[in-house]
Amino acid sequence: MPQKAQVTSVEAIEAFRANLIVYVSKARPTLEEVGADVLRAKSWIENDQRTYWENMVRRRTRELQEAQQALFSARISNLRKETAVEQMAYHRARRALDEAETRLRVLKKWGREFDSHVAPLLKQTEKLHTVLANDMVKAAAYLAETIKTLAAYAERSSAGVAAETSGGGQPVQPPADQAQPAGQGTEEAK
């Protein structure tokens, strides 16, 4: 006689299925948000920051030219000598322009390299999103079917045990959902 399955806790499978559904419902939007954040970051680098630093380079170039003009005018003028304030203004404008040009160069470099750095990681999140959207949904459905099957099995097993103990040696009738195949009637029907 084959061994009977020892189904002790269908509730544990139900709890696992419920937790899986909660996990999928939280993880999918999070991954979608990550993808949106990546697109926002790329747009911020390529559009917002690039425009900002290009404008800063233009503005600081003008400031440097003004400071340079003031310093040059003071040197040419026979009436007065250049002051330390004019020299400091020129050097400050030169440093500010150098900083803006450096930041713009770094930003352009990041704009070019962004996809190569981010694409492999984004691809992994997309794969995970696909697993969550497809495989985990199928897994939850499979668990629901498993729960139904195990519950039916446990019910049938408990009904069979109850019939054997209360029947006192009487033959056990199969459940109504397991009718005998056609052509195999009981002895009384013949």
- Position 86 confidence tier, pLDDT thresholds 50, 70, 90: confident
Q: What pLDDT is attached to residue 152?
A: 86
Q: Residue 77 is which amino acid?
A: S
In the chain, domain spans: 10-161
What is the pLDDT of the chain when averaged over all its residues? 82
Each residue's pLDDT tens digit, 21-62: 999 999 999 999 999 999 999 999 989 999 999 999 999 999
Mean pLDDT on 76-89: 76
- Position 189 confidence tier, pLDDT thresholds 50, 70, 90: very low
Each residue's pLDDT tens digit, 148-185: 988 888 788 777 766 666 655 454 455 554 444 444 44
Each residue's pLDDT tens digit, 128-140: 999 999 999 999 9
pTM over 0.75: no
User: DSSP per residue over 79-140, as a string?
Assistant: S-PPPHHHHHHHHHHHHHHHHHHHHHHHHHHHHHHHHHHHHHHHHHHHHHHHIIIIIHHHHH
- The Cα-based distances of 61 to 26, 68, 70, 78, 86 in angstroms read 50, 10, 14, 27, 16
Residues 6 or more apart in contact with residue 153 via CB below 8 angstroms: 5, 7
* Furthest C-alpha separation in the chain: 137
Q: Is 183 left (phi over 0), alpha (psi -120 to 50) or beta?
A: left
Q: What percent of the chain has pLDDT over 70?
A: 78
